[in-house]
Amino acid sequence: MGMLRAGIVGATGAVGQKFVALLQGHPWFTITALVASDRSVGRTYRDAVNWIGTTGIPASVASMDVLPFRDNLPCDMIFSGLHASVADHAEPTLARAGYPVISNAKSFRMHPDVPLLIPEINPEHTSLIKNQDWQSGGYIVTNPNCSTVGLTCALKPLHRRFGLEAVQVTTMQALSGAGYPGVSSLDALANVVPFIGGEEDKLVHEPNKLLGTVAGGVLQPTSIRISAQCNRVPVLEGHLECISVKLSTSASREDVVDAFESFVSPIKGLGLPTEPDQLLHVFEDEQFPQPRRHSDLGGGMTVSIGRIRPCEVLDYKFIALSHNTVRGAAGGAILNAELLVKQGLLHARADKITPSEPLT
């Protein structure tokens, strides 16, 4: 297979930068277009971006020009790191122009014909793509909210083994989840902000779509009752979640631990480059997991579980930790694209626009 050409819209943002970093040396995808707002257009990527990564701006993109948003970009597929207000219009424009759009924005996550995808959880939901009618071969696939990802990866083995009736989750979410510059330093430092706009609603609804089944081309969500409380805490990367669950059937603690530890992802063996060896890592040390120590596990793609114990109100409670800009954003989206390639849904475009051609 030749390299597929990847465009990044919102390339200068927090998630866009993570795409740039994670795609370096990717065996299947190469970056051929970087798109941002009028503020950045016409400048080189090096000049436009306020690079917040700990390694330098990759040389392969530093001198690329930042392009304006348009529907004829020199690429086979688009990774979107746009805010919903821009994605609402931009992503359908790109899908209509024939591009597969692999999005991080919330705009189309809950649309019945748009897969909300975590490859290890619901790879079969990509069958919804054929319901999308952009008359062009383009489509939109989304990844979930960054706190939904850790929660749903933890819930899936429990739901499969025991059934789930109710979930109570309290999140402690990293500052990088708010983008850059994000939360004001006076609000963030030595403080906790007990509100993240729109977040609790996403945690209530997105897991039910992810854990749902597709039959006859229609998605049937689960109806697990979920209650969420979301907090912004002064952590750089990694969303920690305190989760309590009510199971449909009784289980011992050993059964619960075994459900996590023996979970085998349905994409195991497909050879997707970004898939971690282990989706879930269970800690027995009750001090773990911790964001600073464990967010990077599995290259930021592993979800850590710890402190599994009986719950005095529901059945069991535990901690889950996931990397919000890798597993919860760019890394998750890249894994989605890899799955689409393996499923034969993402390939080189016939009408090749090369990077050197002037864009009209």
Ligand X SMILES: NC(=O)c1ccc[n+]([C@@H]2O[C@H](COP(=O)([O-])OP(=O)(O)OC[C@H]3O[C@@H](n4cnc5c(N)ncnc54)[C@H](OP(=O)(O)O)[C@@H]3O)[C@@H](O)[C@H]2O)c1
Among 4, 5, 12, 115, binds ligand X (CB under 6 A): 12
Q: Does 300 bind ligand X (CB under 6 A)?
A: no
CB of 223 to ligand X, least distance (A): 25
Q: Does 329 bind ligand X (CB under 6 A)?
A: yes
HEC states along 308-356? EEECCCCCEEEEEEECCCHHHHHHHHHHHHHHHHHCCCCCCCCCCCCCC
Tell how strand 4-9 and strand 100-103 pair up: unpaired
Q: Does 196 bind ligand X (CB under 6 A)?
A: no
Nearer to ligand X, 13 or 207 (CB): 13
Quick check: is 239 catalytic? yes
Give the active site residue among 75, 146, 153, 230. Answer: 146
Which whole-number Å values give the CA distances from 24 to 7, 60, 159, 284, in the listed order? 13, 8, 36, 35
Q: Does 326 bind ligand X (CB under 6 A)?
A: no
Among 126, 142, 265, 324, binds ligand X (CB under 6 A): 324
Among 21, 75, 82, 256, binds ligand X (CB under 6 A): 82
Residue 7 is inside which H or E element, if any? strand 4-9
Give the active site residue among 125, 159, 205, 239. Answer: 239
Whether the Cβ atoms of residue 253 and residue 240 lie closer than 8 Å to each other: no
CB of 236 to ligand X, least distance (A): 11
Phi-psi region of 20 (alpha: psi -120 to 50; beta: other; left: phi over 0): alpha
Q: Does 35 bind ligand X (CB under 6 A)?
A: yes
Among 40, 142, 168, 171, binds ligand X (CB under 6 A): 40
Nearer to ligand X, 52 or 270 (CB): 52
Among 5, 6, 7, 10, binds ligand X (CB under 6 A): 10
